[in-house]
DNA sequence: AAGCTGACTATGG
DNA sequence: GCCATAGCCAGCT
């Protein structure tokens, strides 16, 4: 497994409960800015990871649950987030800006 | 081996 | 403000 995946998992696992981040933010933190797709791909492979990865806390830049279909059920992602106190308008996180957690800034 | 695809983002019309 | 285009890079067919 490449280090890239490990790093992605490491960051995602450090996302505080009740907070979310974006693919782009993680990509930037890893120095692979512009390759946000790879972060998404890493999430796709997260299921293969031995430890649990809170992939539901990673959304696109709009706070939209674009990856919901990659969970066991289409509602799993939304329900997990709702359980953490998130509010939604359709599949978009309300107050996303306030919930946003930037690894490059918060984690550093 | 070559081309397509994708859990993204930024930019331009 | 919404639609189209273009970089991005690794895995899959």
Q: Number of folded domains in chain A?
A: 1
Could you give the 3-state DSSP secondary structure of residue A36?
helix
* Cβ partners under 8 Å of residue A79, min gap 6: none
Indicate which CATH number applies to the domain containing A49. Answer: 1.10.10.10
Residue A108 lies in a domain: no
User: What mean pLDDT do residues A65-82 have?
Assistant: 94
Protein-to-nucleotide distance from the CA of A84 to the C1' of C9, whole angstroms: 33
Percent of chain A at pLDDT above 90? 81
Beta strands A58-59; A21-22: pairing state: parallel
pLDDT tens digit string along A28-73?
999 888 889 999 999 999 988 889 999 999 999 999 999 999 999 9
Domain span including residue A72: 3-103
- At residue A20, does pLDDT exceed 80? yes
Q: Is the CB of A24 under 7 A from strand C?
A: no
Residue A66 lies in a domain: yes
Protein-to-nucleotide distance from the CA of A13 to the C1' of C6, whole angstroms: 32
Average confidence score pLDDT of chain A = 92
Protein-to-nucleotide distance from the CA of A48 to the C1' of C8, whole angstroms: 24
Is-contact A85 A17, C-beta < 8 A?
no
């Amino acid at each position: 497994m490449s280090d890239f995946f490990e790093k992605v998992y490491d960051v995602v696992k450090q996302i505080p409960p009740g907070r979310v981040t974006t693919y782009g933010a993680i990509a930037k933190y890893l120095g692979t800015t512009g390759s946000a797709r790879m972060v998404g791909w890493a999430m796709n492979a997260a299921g293969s990871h031995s430890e649990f990865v809170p992939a539901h806390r990673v959304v696109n830049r709009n706070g939209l649950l674009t990856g919901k279909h990659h969970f066991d059920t289409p509602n799993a992602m939304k329900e997990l987030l709702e359980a953490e106190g998130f509010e939604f308008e359709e599949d978009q996180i309300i107050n996303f800006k306030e919930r946003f957690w930037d690894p490059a800034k918060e984690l550093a």
